[in-house]
Amino acid sequence: MNKALTVEDFIGRFEAYAPKTYAVEGDPIGLHFGSFKQEIHKIMVTLDVRPEVVDEAIDEGVDFIFAHHPPIFKGPNVLTEDNKQQAMYAKIIRHGIAVYAAHTNLDAAPNGMNDWLAELYGLENTQVLSPHYQIKYYRVNVYIPKEDVDSLHQAIVDEGLASHGNYSGVNFQVAGHGHFTPNDQASPHIGQAGQAEEVEEILYSFICSEEEKEKALAVTKNNHPYEVPVIDVYALDNLSQAIGLGRVGDLDQAMPIEDYIALVKERTGISGLRAVLTDSQAMVKRVAVLGGDGGKFYPDALKAGADTYITGDIYYHVGHDMLADGLNAIDPGHHFESICKDKLLAIFSQWQEEDQWPVTIIKSQLNTDPFTFY
């Protein structure tokens, strides 16, 4: 029988995908309710944690809610169930439901919220719109007997290491000779104490990210035959990956702004949206998109050469500023981030299959958009 899944197990897997370091400073991501040690058996994915969503979770027998928007943005000074929001907190605790929120770390993560939106709206050759973090990369060099190279390489590949761009198992090998003399305290894999040895070795070299570094070193040490393996780690100044909010890219073919607005409306699945139009006859070719409330990032869209910007919650005066700066904008509402429910359900279901988690995973069926369009 498979071991029960804990909150800690699940979060560990998720934060390897969207680490906390990707979040904007001060964002209240993470575990809001429950314990890292508690077992979970039924997971529900939601955009928002609202009283009706909590009731849905209770009716479904859910013991872990995974949300995009944190249920507590600002901690209350007092707790009273006369306040409906705080009454919801009490209900969560009474029913033993753990609640975890992944907000701007999911927004910024590769293959996260903003990549999903960019794909939905037809953007190609995308780049990060507003970077706030750089992933560092390292080169790991290890010296290992020639006959042990294949087993080390396979262990590294099996752990998902040594990937670069669209390629896996990327490594470089140089043949040479290792020289050493074990002392009388050593337990050498090759040779005897007090005798100088010369061994045909391979310098096996691969690249890992900052998040992968500790795992890369552990896998290398655990699959090396030597008592004290020689491993060199170098920071790569010429290689990094931008992490941040929003994406900017190009449409396959330019189209009139009114046609593109219709496309956004249809693909978002809404009955109405708002637009800021500096030119209603403009052609759309280069588009920036940022999930959530992204009005303040519109200068980044201009800097990136976008002719159209898609984001939610555009304020009145920001709309005026966009008009003055000649930027068309489309506002499908903050709720367009609900794309996360289907996307996360698919990802979590894949992890469940890979790791044989004994859990059920569902998504909230509720629409938590506070606005109705007529």
Return binding residues for a divalent metal cation.
68-69, 107, 334, 337
Spell out the alpha helix ranges (H) of 43-132: 51-60, 84-94, 104-108, 113-120
Binding positions are 68-69, 107, 334, 337
Amino acid type, 14: F
d(CA 364, CA 348): 14
Distances from the Cα of 78 to the Cαs of 85, 95, 119, 197, 208, in angstroms? Answer: 12, 21, 43, 71, 46
Among candidate residues 369, 370, 368, the one with its CA nearest the CA of residue 53: 368
CB atoms within 10 A of CB 311: 29
Give the number of C-alpha atoms closer than 13 A to the C-alpha of residue 82, restricted to the C-beta side. 2
CB atoms within 10 A of CB 131: 16
- Percent helix / strand / coil, the chain, rounded to 5: 35, 30, 35
